[in-house]
Amino acid sequence: MKTKKTSSKSDSFETNLSKLQDIVEKMEEGKCNLDEALSMFEEGVSISKKCSKILNEYERKIMIVKNDNTNDSCHDSASADDNKKHYNKSSKKSTSDLGYLEIFEDN
């Protein structure tokens, strides 16, 4: 039997996003010294990477589901190669293509 890996509440996208928003608010207040600001920035970058990783995993799962649905509905009318090409082209999109986390990335 396959067991489903459950992420803890502290690892959820929402929890990480909330932490990131707190960091941004503290830094925008401008009441921290340079060392504190650098530490918060480093933590923010780390949390942003976690959020991106979580979103990428969900995007991958969505693409798999979409591909499965495409295969079901197009089974008789399209070849498996056509479906594979469609999936490969669709799966090349990144989370930035979908507009996720752009508020956290300056580049």
pLDDT at 96 over 90: no
How many domains in the chain? 1
In a domain, 6, yes or no: no
In a domain, 79, yes or no: yes
Confidence at residue 74, expressed as pLDDT on a 0 to 100 scale: 57
Q: Tens digit of pLDDT for each residue in 32-80?
A: 999 999 999 999 999 999 999 999 999 999 999 999 887 766 554 555 5
In a domain, 101, yes or no: no
How many angstroms separate the Cα of 72 from the Cα of each of 6, 49, 59, 86, 90? 29, 35, 20, 14, 17
- Tell me which residue range forms the domain holding 77: 11-91
Confidence at residue 65, expressed as pLDDT on a 0 to 100 scale: 94
In a domain, 100, yes or no: no
In a domain, 81, yes or no: yes
Q: What DSSP string describes the chain?
A: -PPPP---GGGSHHHHHHHHHHHHHHHHHT-S-HHHHHHHHHHHHHHHHHHHHHHHHHHHHHHHHHHHHHHHHSTTTS-HHHHHHHHHHHHT--TTTTTTTTTT---
In a domain, 99, yes or no: no
What are the residues whose beta carbons fall under 8 Å from the beta carbon of 10, sequence distance 6 or more? none
